[in-house]
Structure 1
């Protein structure tokens, strides 16, 4: 997992790692970053997840001699490099794992595709990746950074791997059960059935643009007054299990 942008980790970002631990039961979980996050909820993660580790990873300041101009682009290259070297499962901190994903380990590389109504619909999303060490798809993806475009926010992380997928479908498996939802479905609806999915991308960065944007910084018990699926997730994975 890649460390969050936030210097102080908000509560909602604990839900992803907790779900990984509860549903995958991995031998190791590592948060990579160049600056260790702080705050109550980051400390709480280590209490809840005894196998969790924080590992320093230096900023990837350039690729193929080109300076990376955005923190998200730095994180994109770092996750590709780490997965290519070690293999495993990568999840953004706002990816909620629903059930075991062992069935995906037989593939060289697995990604999901964005859904929703915005302009990124149909693109590969780098928020959840399963890969074996040395996966060829990851090599080609990184090669795409020879044409690094700082101004195109999703060019190298979304458009390039999508083109690679179309040209080399034998190198990567697309799982429709990894739901990258840009519509904020769990914020807007109660009782959303996630049981058929491996993982659900909460897309917390989109909350700032919706009516209930205050969710972004709330404490756990405050979520319970909302009649949505996010509230149910907080109750099941944090409140009921920790109190």
Structure 2
């Protein structure tokens, strides 16, 4: 026996159920969108505590001619907003160095990189350098001082990992030093790395240096340069406390006599000359643990240089002409470069 009106009631119930389902799905979708909008581009870099301003990597801060803005700013609205404090790269660096103070060491465990040039390509070996520092050195912070933010695959891959102690701060490349015009971007970097270390202290690394282990055993010297060869110290790695006497003398004396046509005179030969002239100064030269020198680059890329006692190895990438497919090639590369790359990326040589 069929009850009158039953089919209509069933249809009505189904319609109501469908409407409720659609409303729930719509609310869920709106919630997801809202979460995505509120989610910061990068995770927090320092923990909030003891009244310190918590930081996060975030765009839109310090204006510059090139358009890059510091991607670090406080998320404490009271400090940054209501008090009207202008957050500058200098204030950010001051906060980083304060957070990384360790009275057991002269040199803070903060690694500085410099990235100048809006058209530079951030390659795999740049990515590998920073990854080697983060995984093998375990620094308190890594700071990239840049006039332009890279914008290609390997940079995005690095940023996507959201390392909490990784920072990008704005730094203009200088045009002059003691009334001398600086045209080569490499020389601009040479000047700025000294200025950063004199002011803040820390560990400067070229973006083609692969870190192998902690630098802690070197952090109680006032300043450290690696030996490269007779007459040359390697400024691709500099470990220094702030206000080092040696670095201040190097900065003043060397760049008062800046030679723009001499590739390594001010940055690598002049430190050697000061070391020999003033052996009493606060300089430690690390003789073996950052070898091999530039003219043995083949030992790194194609040979098996014994690297396990090193603190780091400098890659002389300008010598590499062949194209290598990264990171797939790392798995089968039977060389020092392959071994260190596997250690860095997969914790196994």
Change (3 A) 1:186 1:180: closer
Taking the TM superposition and a 5 Å limit, the aligned residue runs for 1:180-195 are: 180-182=292-294, 183-184=296-297, 185-190=299-304, 192-195=305-308
Separation in structure 2 between the aligned mates of residue 221 and residue 234 of structure 1, nearest angstrom: 11
Q: Helix, strand or coil for the counterpart of 1:54?
A: strand
Separation in structure 1 between the aligned mates of residue 310 and residue 342 of structure 2, nearest angstrom: 19
Choose from 153, 173, 181 the match for 1:67: 181
Show CA shifts across 1:69-117 (max 9, x none): 21000000000000000000010111111111111111110001214xx
**Shift of residue 122, structure 1, vs aligned partner:** 4.1
Show CA shifts across 1:16-44 (max 9, x none): 11111112211110011111112121122
**Shift of residue 179, structure 1, vs aligned partner:** 2.1
Taking the TM superposition and a 5 Å limit, the aligned residue runs for 1:214-225 are: 214-215=323-324, 218-225=325-332
Separation in structure 1 between the aligned mates of residue 125 and residue 140 of structure 2, nearest angstrom: 24
Q: Does residue 24 of structure 1 match 2:137?
A: yes
Q: Does residue 166 of structure 1 match 2:276?
A: yes
Correspondence for 1:178: 290
Change (3 A) 1:110 1:196: same
Correspondence for 2:267: 157
TM-score by length of 2: 0.62
TM-score by length of 1: 0.87
Separation in structure 2 between the aligned mates of residue 4 and residue 40 of structure 1, nearest angstrom: 18
List runs of 5+ in structure 1 lacking aligned partners. 116-120
Which one has a bigger Cα radius of gyration? Answer: 2
Change (3 A) 1:196 1:34: same
Correspondence for 1:234: 341
**Aligned partners of 1:113 and 1:174 also within 8 Å:** yes
Taking the TM superposition and a 5 Å limit, the aligned residue runs for 1:83-94 are: 83-94=197-208
Separation in structure 2 between the aligned mates of residue 83 and residue 230 of structure 1, nearest angstrom: 29
Taking the TM superposition and a 5 Å limit, the aligned residue runs for 1:131-150 are: 131-143=240-252, 144-150=254-260
**Shift of residue 214, structure 1, vs aligned partner:** 2.0
**Aligned partners of 1:18 and 1:49 also within 8 Å:** no
**Shift of residue 194, structure 1, vs aligned partner:** 1.2
Q: Helix, strand or coil for the counterpart of 1:152?
A: coil
**Shift of residue 68, structure 1, vs aligned partner:** 0.6
List runs of 5+ in structure 2 lacking aligned partners. 1-112
Q: Helix, strand or coil for the counterpart of 1:169?
A: coil
Choose from 320, 331, 336 the match for 1:207: 320
**Shift of residue 164, structure 1, vs aligned partner:** 0.7
Separation in structure 1 between the aligned mates of residue 334 and residue 217 of structure 2, nearest angstrom: 33
Q: Does residue 41 of structure 1 match 2:151?
A: no
More RCO (CA 8 Å, sep 6+): 1
Choose from 98, 103, 125 the match for 2:234: 125
**Shift of residue 138, structure 1, vs aligned partner:** 0.8
Separation in structure 1 between the aligned mates of residue 278 and residue 150 of structure 2, nearest angstrom: 38
Q: Give me the CA root mean square deviation.
A: 1.9
Q: Which runs of 4+ in 1 moved over 4 A?
A: none
